Each structure stands twice: as C-alpha cells, then as structure tokens.
Amino acid sequence: MEPLSLAFRERAARALHDPVLATAMQRLERGWQAARARAAADLPEFEALRDAAVAIKDHVLANLDLYLEEFERRFTAAGGVIHWARDAAEARAIILDICRRAKARTVTKSKSMVAEEIGLNAYLEAQGLRVIETDLGEYIIQLAGDVPSHLVGPAVHMTRERIAELFAKAHGGPPKQDSAALVAEARQVLRQRYLEADVGITGANFLIAETGSIVTVTNEGNAELTQGLPKVHIALTGIEKIVPTVAEAFVFLRLLARSATGQEFSAYTTFLTGPKREDERDGPQEMHLVLLDNGRSRMLGGPFREMLRCIRCGACMNHCPVYLAAGGHAYGWVYVGPMGSVLTPHFVGIDKSWPLPNASTFCGRCEEVCPVRIPLPKLMRLWREEAHKRGLAPPAARVGLTLWAFFARRPALYRLATRLAMAALGALGRRRGRFSRLPFASGWTVSREFPAPQGPTFTAQWRAARGAKG
Amino acid sequence: MSEARRAILARIRAQLARPPSAEEAARHDVAARLARTAPVLIPARAQLEGEARIALFCEKARTLGCAIERLPDLGALSGAVLAALRRHNLPLELVRAADPLLDAAALEAEPLLSVRIGVPEESDAVGLTVALAGVAETGTIMLASSRARPTLLAFLPETSLVVLPCAWIKGSYEEAWAMLRALPGWPPRSVNLVTGPSRTGDIPPSIELGAHGPKRLILFLIDRIG
C-alpha cells in the first residue's frame, strides 16, 4: 500500500465534514472507550497486570535473539515449519511459494495487520489466487475495495446501509435491513469459502517460547475455521510477538480484550502447537509460520524499543481526540492513531509520513490507557525532532519555530517582545475589544474572534504580585 | 539454516549489543524463565472454591449468552440434550466426540436421537464435545484436540453442546492449564479457550451472535461422573 500520510492535513479536513464518520467515531467513544473504563475498574489487579506486562515484554526484547531460537526449536519439534523474512517482499514470496506448492487456488484469511503491512492480498491476487477475508470487518472492507480504518474494527467507518448495499451487490438479492440478517448472510457465503480453501492464513497475537505455540484471538471464531479446514495453515506475524511462557501469556490475555473492546475475554483464544497429529481426524496437514522483521530489529537499539511492546489492542486510538475526529483513513497507511503515528515512519520513512507525529495534541491519553505503557507522546516527539532535523516540515512552520526558539532562549528579550506585541495588539483592538481577523492566526479567527489583550502580560502581573508579597 | 534467519538474528544481536561477558548469564536467565510455569498474577476474583466457584462460572457464562444446564450425572445427559434440541426446534441428530464420558452417557440408547461419532460436516447442525476444564474468572471453557475430540465439533455446527464435569471447573486460566499439562499428549495440537458463542460487532449498531462459530453454546454441567 502506497502511503498517503503526507496528505494527512487534507484528508483529515475532509473527514471532519463527514457526518457518517462522526457517527462512527461517536460509537467508538461511547462504546469501546466507556467499556474499557468499566472493564479496568472491574479488575482491581488491572494496573498490576499492566506493570507485569511491561516487565515481561522488556525482558523478552532484551533477549529477543535467545527467545526466538528457543521458540523456533520447540515450534519445529512440534512439526511446524518456520520461515524468516527480512522484509515485506521476502514474506510475500515465501507465502506465495507455499501456496504454489499446495497447488492452491483459494486462500482464506483471518484478520492480520502484518498481512496489511506487507500488502499480501493485492500480491496474491495479482498472482492469480483467490483471497477471501473471513473476519467480517475485513470482508466488508475487501468487498468495498477499501482499507482498514481501525486496528480491531477495520470497517468501523461503515454504516449498516452501506454494508447492506455491498452485500446485495456481491451476493445478489435485495439489501437486508438489519444486522442479524446481514451477519447470517455473510456466515452462509463465507462457510462455502472455508470449505473450498486450500490454504488458510492467520496472524498470531502471541508466540509462546515454552511450548512453541502460536496464539490467535478472535470474537467470531473465524481464525479456527480458517486454519482448521484447509490442508495448509500459514501464520504470519512479527518477530516481537514472543512471550516466554503460557503463564506469562495469560497476563497479556487478561489485558488485551479489556483494553480493546472492554470485554473481559475475547470469545476465542486458541493455542496451536504444530499441524495435525498422526492419529487426529481434523486439523491442517502443514503448519507454517512466517516471522517478519521488516525493520523491527532496527527499533531494538534505541528509544523506539518500547514501541515493540505493542499488542495491537487499539486502546490508544479509541482514546485519541485526533483519531476520533479525523478517523483512521486520514493517517494514510496501515497503522493508524497514536501507535500508527509512531510506527508508520519506521515502515515507510519519516519523509513520507512526517505529518503523523504532528497529528497529536500531546494530551497523553494514549499513554494513560496503553496496556503496556508505551510512552507514545514521547516517541511522537522524537519523530518530530527527526523531521525538523531533516527539514521536512514546510518553510513557514520551520521559520516560525526557529524564530520562536530564538526568543524563547532569551527570556529578557522574550518578555520585552511579548510586552510590546501585547501592548500594540491591545491598542489596536481597544475600540472593539476583539479581532475578527489577525495575520498568522487565521486558524483561530476563521471560526471565532480573538479577544484584544488588556493590561500587562501574565509574567508582568506575576512579578508585580510576588513583588508586592515579598 | 536460511540466510534471512542469520541476517535477522545478527541484526537483533547488533542492536542489543549484549557484551560477550553477559552472554552466558542471559542464556541462563532465559532457560530459567522457560522452566518456570508458576502463575504471574491470579486476580482475587478467581480465587474461589466449591459452589462459589461454580456460581461465578455460571454467572459469567450466562452473561455472555451461554445456556447452562446442571445435571446430577451422565445418565441425565441424553434427556437434557433431547429437550434442548426440541426447545430450539433443531433436528434430533448430532455428531459427537468419541470421548469416554460421552460413551458412558449412552446417548445412542435414546431412540429419538440420531448420533454419529466423528468429524462434523457442513451439513451437521449440532456438535457435542467435552471440555477439559472450565474457568470461573470469565465463564470460559477449555477444549483440547485429540483423536477422540476433533476441534471442529465446537466450531463448524451452528449449535455447540459441551459437557463439563463440575469438578473440572477451576478459578483461573492458569489452574485450568495446569490440569491440561498433567494429561498425556501434552501439549495438544489445539487448545481453545471459548468464552460465550461466536460474536461480532462489525455491522452496527448491535453485537450479533453466530458470526462464524456457533450461534448457540449450551453447557451441560455434570455433578458426578463415574
């Protein structure tokens, strides 16, 4: 997927005037945001679990090479085949090769953000394979030729009416009116696809080194049918998804659904260890795991290592005022919201994504709700600094910032300048007491008036008051 | 091993820059960690015994949309299954696991019920299997695959019937996992933690049941087995 993140401003501006999106974002705010707060309050140990999760991830990341080797040994012993992929192209080629060897025509897929990251669907389709998304949200997006707008609810921006139209067009018959009928229709259609599929592709929420297992989490049960019916299962995930033991996986599982949708536990959490055993009557004959680096290892050495703790719950976007106003599509690439603003520059380059780390009010709510306490505002600030160093922002912003910095570093000059400027503004606006237009401040005055300053500046008043006291 | 593997591990090591003197300690650390199976943190809510534990399990599972029937023994199962199928206007036929508990329930002796043993097909409306544990904390059941218990029994049919002895209901996931670990053939190929019927919120405004997995999940809790 070609990143469109440079156009964040324009895309966000358009999104602000989209009433359908506004309704969808309200649903997130009133639904998932409120549900997460309830779920966290209902579990007194929630904060302690967050601390434990941070410690586990930090330990794994500090020993990632060793854990990957341990995981590989056990995964392989259980009969799985592991494939290491340095980048997106390598991962796509590996998956295509497995599909070709299985003589696959139809491939079912359960939701995987890593698959979005490497643009897997478009690639496999261009090679003549029929790819069917089975997560209902992803299926809707696929029918619409759209891209996900949220980590957990990829079709969160869609209305029921639009989904009904898409289904009617794809499946025939008149558009259904209620969600139950639409879900039943999708169930029936996708049932056939599961049975036709030669290969099933899933993601993996966790990799467990102790047992060599992969863990999938869904509410629909689509991962189990995706990997359980075809003869070949391919799991695709990032190298950072390792946890040491099953006991430690439960720390994350207690946090994941609560942080994402406010559920206490998702409907289906599945631990898979190897392909079908000799005496078993169901299960895939082959189990493959594609372990993707794609720049993740580069993040290990510096301050961005903390980002590798991310468990993709989406809490940061559910609580982000910018995401909730602009929606996911404004971000212009696969990962959206605050976590997307930190990750996207790593994957596509800061030169193609510098507006994203700027799309934040730094209110800090993302960090407050992040189950693994990633300092998202700090990491966005680091990207801002990098973008500034490389001169990526438009000249006006850079000159403005440089000018401000010049004064800000010279407090006496700063005070003098603000005193003069405020006095001048006060004199100019004395008659009306407000301005309806100001140079360089149209962002403010376009929708409201700017009050004319009255009296001395805050610093001057503060000094005067303290002076009086002392 | 592959070139990509070597390259990725080399990149990781270069970034971590662990001094050679710390290598052995790190390996020792990792090995010790992997050998430690003790729970990290079990919430107080999960630390219940006896009837209180069963009550929490039932409350949580019912809230999520499970139907629960408590039976004195396996002899009562065939009657309860028949009644449940009738209540939902379902055909009086099912496909079941070859589990000894279900053998002992003698479902085949019920003349009105048509029972097949094996892997479900697309046309099967009802699947019956056995859970290896229950988790009171969130009303979760733990299923594990084996020759006797195909995984698909609890995923393909629209109605999923699951038998769970009351004594196998534990407080936490960790206790349930410890039970599983003690069984032969551990770890099984597939362990499913199932918490309520299949659901989706992808088509607004409501949460709908039966997105892909079962629309109906009926649990039969058995007081006494064997």
DSSP A6: G
Asked whether residue A83 falls in the same domain as residue A22, the answer is: no
pLDDT tens profile A341-366:
999 999 999 999 999 999 999 999 99
Mutate: best of A58, A65, A165, A205, partner B, most B CBs <10 A: A65
Q: Which residue of B has its CA nearest to A273?
A: B189
Asked whether residue B108 falls in the same domain as residue B8, the answer is: no
Is A214 exposed, middle or buried (CB count within 10 Å of its CB: 0-12, 13-18, 19+)? buried
- Render each residue's pLDDT in chain B as its tens digit; 226 residues: 599 999 999 999 999 999 999 999 999 999 999 999 999 999 999 999 999 999 999 999 999 999 999 999 999 999 999 999 999 999 999 999 999 999 999 999 999 999 999 999 999 999 999 999 999 999 999 999 999 999 999 999 999 999 999 999 999 999 999 999 999 889 999 999 999 999 999 998 889 999 999 999 999 999 999 7
DSSP A295: T
How many folded domains does chain B comprise?
A: 2
Nearest CB partner across the interface for A153, out of B5, B26, B201: B201
Asked whether residue A130 falls in the same domain as residue A269, the answer is: yes
Asked whether residue B13 falls in the same domain as residue B75, the answer is: no
What distance in Å separates the CA atoms of residue A182 and residue A175, rounded to the nearest whole number? 9
Asked whether residue A154 falls in the same domain as residue A258, the answer is: yes
Cis preceding-peptide flag for A439 (omega within 30 of 0)? no
pLDDT of A19 strictly over 60: yes
What distance in Å separates the CA atoms of residue A2 and residue A348, rounded to the nearest whole number? 9
Apex A354 CA angle, A32 and A357, nearest 5: 35
User: Which secondary-structure segment (H or E) carries A20?
Assistant: helix A19-28
User: Do the chains contact at B211 and A186, CB–CB below 8 Å?
Assistant: yes
Contact A26, A214 (CB under 8 A): no
Asked whether residue A143 falls in the same domain as residue A232, the answer is: yes
How many folded domains does chain A comprise?
A: 3
User: Do the chains contact at A90 and B4, CB–CB below 8 Å?
Assistant: yes
A293 vs B206 pLDDT, higher one: A293
Confidence of residue A116 (pLDDT cuts 50, 70, 90): very high
Asked whether residue B9 falls in the same domain as residue B76, the answer is: no
Picking from A309, A304, A369, the residue whose alpha carbon sits closest to that of residue A341 is A304
Q: Which residue of B has its CA nearest to A244?
A: B34
Confidence of residue A441 (pLDDT cuts 50, 70, 90): confident
Q: How many CB pairs under 8 A join A and B?
A: 236
Contact B187, A213 (CB under 8 A): yes
Confidence of residue A468 (pLDDT cuts 50, 70, 90): low
Residues in chain B: 226
Q: Which residue of B has its CA nearest to A150?
A: B202
Other beta carbons less than 10 A from residue A97's beta carbon: 11
User: Do the chains contact at A44 and B44, CB–CB below 8 Å?
Assistant: yes
User: Which secondary-structure segment (H or E) carries A411?
Assistant: helix A411-428
- Contact status of A454 with chain B (Cβ, < 8 Å): no
Distances (CA, A) of A186 to A136, A307, B215: 8, 36, 13
Asked whether residue B21 falls in the same domain as residue B130, the answer is: no
Picking from A316, A337, A315, the residue whose alpha carbon sits closest to that of residue A12 is A337
Asked whether residue A84 falls in the same domain as residue A181, the answer is: yes
- Contact status of B201 with chain A (Cβ, < 8 Å): yes
Contacts of B43 in chain A (CB under 8 A): 43-45, 254
3-state secondary structure of B17: coil
What distance in Å separates the CA atoms of residue A296 and residue B11, rounded to the nearest whole number? 10
Residue B67 sits at φ, ψ, to 5 deg, of -100, 140
Name the H helices within chain B: 3-16, 20-35, 50-63, 77-87, 100-104, 173-181
Nearest CB partner across the interface for B11, out of A224, A274, A297: A297
Asked whether residue B60 falls in the same domain as residue B84, the answer is: yes
Confidence of residue A401 (pLDDT cuts 50, 70, 90): confident
Write down the pLDDT at residue A333. Answer: 97
Is A65 exposed, middle or buried (CB count within 10 Å of its CB: 0-12, 13-18, 19+)? buried
Q: Quick check: is A311 in a domain?
A: no
Confidence of residue A428 (pLDDT cuts 50, 70, 90): confident
What distance in Å separates the CA atoms of residue A310 and residue A344, rounded to the nearest whole number? 14
Predicted ipTM?
0.98
Cis preceding-peptide flag for B205 (omega within 30 of 0)? yes
CATH number of the domain within which B101 lies: 3.40.50.10420
What is the widest separation between alpha-carbon atoms in chain B? 73
Contact A221, A267 (CB under 8 A): yes
Q: Going along A239-347, which residue ranges are E strands?
A: 242-243, 268-272, 286-292
Asked whether residue B110 falls in the same domain as residue B131, the answer is: yes
pLDDT tens profile B4-27:
999 999 999 999 999 999 999 999
3-state secondary structure of A83: strand
pLDDT tens profile A229-261:
999 999 999 999 999 999 999 999 999 999 999
Q: Which amino acid does the sequence have at B221? A: L
Token output for A418? 């603000």
Write down the pLDDT at residue A227. Answer: 98
Confidence of residue A433 (pLDDT cuts 50, 70, 90): confident
Asked whether residue B101 falls in the same domain as residue B134, the answer is: yes
Token output for A224? 């189990």
Asked whether residue B92 falls in the same domain as residue B170, the answer is: yes
pLDDT tens profile A208-218:
999 999 999 99
pLDDT tens profile A28-87:
999 999 999 999 999 999 999 999 999 999 999 999 999 999 999 999 999 999 999 999
Residue A348 sits at φ, ψ, to 5 deg, of -110, -10
Asked whether residue A184 falls in the same domain as residue A167, the answer is: yes
Apex A208 CA angle, A202 and A209, nearest 5: 130
Task: List own/partner pairs for A64-68 with CB under 8 A and 24 or more apart.
Answer: A64/A239, A64/A240, A64/A242, A64/A297, A64/A300, A64/B12, A64/B16, A65/B9, A65/B12, A65/B13, A65/B16, A66/B26, A66/B27, A66/B30, A67/A209, A67/A242, A67/A244, A67/B30, A68/A239, A68/A242, A68/A291, A68/B9, A68/B12
Write down the pLDDT at residue A469. Answer: 61
Estimate the crossing angle of helix A246-260 against helix A46-62, to 10 degrees.
120
Write down the pLDDT at residue A429. Answer: 86
Enclosing domain of residue B76: 47-224
Contact A45, A177 (CB under 8 A): no
Write down the pLDDT at residue A368. Answer: 98
Contacts of B11 in chain A (CB under 8 A): 293, 297-298
Q: Which of A61-75, A134-148, A454-468, B91-105 has the lowest mean pLDDT?
A: A454-468
Residue B204 sits at φ, ψ, to 5 deg, of -65, 155
Contacts of A291 in chain B (CB under 8 A): 8
User: Do the chains contact at A267 and B198, CB–CB below 8 Å?
Assistant: yes
Confidence of residue A448 (pLDDT cuts 50, 70, 90): confident
Asked whether residue A7 falls in the same domain as residue A114, the answer is: no
Residues 6+ apart with CB under 8 A from B106: B75, B78
- Contact status of B200 with chain A (Cβ, < 8 Å): yes
Asked whether residue A283 falls in the same domain as residue A340, the answer is: no
Token output for A331? 């971000």
Asked whether residue A465 falls in the same domain as residue A331, the answer is: no
What distance in Å separates the CA atoms of residue B72 and residue A28, rounded to the nearest whole number? 45
Write down the pLDDT at residue B226. Answer: 78
Q: Quick check: is B167 in a domain?
A: yes
Contacts of A271 in chain B (CB under 8 A): 187, 190-191, 193
Contact A79, A323 (CB under 8 A): no
With tokens 């800061």, the residue in question is A350
B222 vs A395 pLDDT, higher one: B222
Mutate: best of B95, B137, B190, partner A, most A CBs <10 A: B190
Which one of A342, A372, A393 terminates a domain? A393
Pairing status of strand B169-170 against strand A242-243: unpaired
| Interfacial B residues in 91-120 facing A (CB < 8 Å) | 118-119
User: Do the chains contact at B27 and A66, CB–CB below 8 Å?
Assistant: yes
Picking from A343, A294, A298, A293, the residue whose alpha carbon sits closest to that of residue A316 is A343
Residue A392 sits at φ, ψ, to 5 deg, of -90, -30
Asked whether residue B88 falls in the same domain as residue B30, the answer is: no
Q: Quick check: is B41 in a domain?
A: no
Asked whether residue A271 falls in the same domain as residue A380, the answer is: no
Contact A177, A164 (CB under 8 A): yes
Instruction: Find the mean pLDDT for residues A97-125.
Output: 98
| Interfacial B residues in 50-79 facing A (CB < 8 Å) | 60, 64
Which one of A369, A393, A417 terminates a domain? A393
pTM of the model: 0.95
Q: Quick check: is A312 in a domain?
A: no
Q: Which of A262-276, A396-410, B196-210 has the lowest mean pLDDT?
A: A396-410
pLDDT of A329 strictly over 80: yes
| Interfacial A residues in 283-302 facing B (CB < 8 Å) | 283, 291, 293, 297-298, 300-301
Write down the pLDDT at residue A454. Answer: 83
Residue A130 sits at φ, ψ, to 5 deg, of -95, 120
Other beta carbons less than 10 A from residue B134's beta carbon: 28
Asked whether residue A174 falls in the same domain as residue A118, the answer is: yes
Average pLDDT for chain A: 95
Residues 6+ apart with CB under 8 A from A411: none
User: Which secondary-structure segment (H or E) carries B158?
Assistant: none
User: Do the chains contact at A180 and B208, CB–CB below 8 Å?
Assistant: yes
Enclosing domain of residue A274: 66-297
Q: Which residue of A has its CA nearest to B24?
A: A66
CA distance B14 to chain A (A): 8
Is A390 exposed, middle or buried (CB count within 10 Å of its CB: 0-12, 13-18, 19+)? exposed
DSSP A130: E
Distances (CA, A) of A88 to A153, A214, A290, A348, A391: 24, 21, 11, 12, 28
Confidence of residue A309 (pLDDT cuts 50, 70, 90): very high
What distance in Å separates the CA atoms of residue A456 and residue A465, rounded to the nearest whole number? 12
Distances (CA, A) of B176 to A407, A417, B98, B138: 64, 69, 22, 12
